[in-house]
Amino acid sequence: MAETVKVGELAKALDLEIVSGDEKALSREIITGDVSRPGLELTGYFNYYSHDRLQLFGSKEITFARRMMSEERLMIMRRLCEEDTPAFIISRGLEIPEEMFKTCAENQLPILRSKITTSRLSGQISSFLDGRLAARENVHGVLVDVYGLGVLLQGDSGIGKSETALELIKRGHRLIADDRVNIYKQDELTLIGEPPQILEHLIEIRGIGIIDVMHLFGASAVRGKMQIQLAVYLESWEKDKKYDRLGTSDETVELNGVDIPQVKIPVKTGRNLSIIIEVAAMNFRAKTMGYDATKSFEDRLTRLIEENSDL
């Protein structure tokens, strides 16, 4: 489910100056990550006015507004203030017209301001809101940061996901989420995972209970969110089952509409899963950089066959 974002939360997250607006005004909800720059609206064209978006005023909008007569400016500002308009935001620390103050006060709309450029501010607002407002899906698993790679550990209950994650943490890697991972799409190809608020920094180890990873291992052992780049499925070892020994299978798992590369690791006594997962992460990164050990082995094998066939 998508969250809701209040104007006050946006102001705090992006360090925006609250120029005007009481607690009620700052409690207005933002329902879309899109940002509107009301250029045509300032000329009086309101046929396609996106009134439910944040209204961002940069140098162009403010300069144009200043050229109007005060009565015209007041009329336009009143038309911009719809019931579901979340807030007005001013970039570059520009001076705010008195008519904007008056109409926003009449409609209990907050005015925020930033010193940064309009395009940069627009990007920051959209990035923050897209992440917060994106539809989320819960998956069972453990998300860890292994060498800067977001690795999602999945498998049957009791297979040892949390214990493996704990060993990875002790080896210097970082925990993002244990047991349940909230995932959302940052864009069409990028999947972000984060913990539910109630489980943040916590991990459950059977026989011990709940432990606070940040309290025991320090702030460097945890991370708030991470792009999911590799899925590792832990499965019980079966004696008669054939497993991929060369790494030729390119399996994927679909999560929230995005295909994530997946490797399956059989679990049995004596296998050091944390080291295997470290190597899987390093091998995946090597592949993304253009080196494939399996292909290199196959090329060597082909050359050896060709050399022997010439004898």
Instruction: Give the active site residue among 67, 239, 242, 245.
Output: 245
Report the SS3 class of residue 80: helix
The yes-or-no answer on residue 179 being catalytic is yes
The yes-or-no answer on residue 161 being catalytic is yes
What kind and span of H or E run contains 61?
Answer: helix 59-66
Instruction: Give the active site residue among 37, 113, 136, 161.
Output: 161
The pairing of strands 29-30 and 5-6 is: antiparallel
Q: Which residues contact 35 (CB under 8 A, 6 or more apart)?
A: 53, 54, 56, 122, 125, 126
The answer to whether the beta carbons of residues 178 and 204 sit under 8 Å apart is yes
**Cα–Cα distances in angstroms (integers) from residue 14 to residues 6, 8, 38, 116, in the given order:** 13, 10, 21, 11
**Residue 185 identity:** K
The pairing of strands 202-205 and 29-30 is: unpaired
**Residue 42 identity:** L
Question: What residues are designated binding site for Mg(2+)?
Answer: 162, 204
Residues 278, 284: Cα–Cα separation, whole Å: 10
Instruction: Give the active site residue among 140, 170, 215, 300.
Output: 140
Report the SS3 class of residue 51: coil
The yes-or-no answer on residue 52 being catalytic is no
The answer to whether the beta carbons of residues 163 and 186 sit under 8 Å apart is no
Structure tokens at 198: 């109630």
Instruction: Give the active site residue among 34, 52, 179, 292.
Output: 179
DSSP category for residue 197: G
The answer to whether the beta carbons of residues 250 and 284 sit under 8 Å apart is no
Question: What residues are designated binding site for ATP?
Answer: 155-162
Question: What residues are designated binding site?
Answer: 155-162, 204
The yes-or-no answer on residue 242 being catalytic is no
206: nearest Cα among 249, 160, 238: 160
* Catalytic center residues: 140, 161, 179, 245
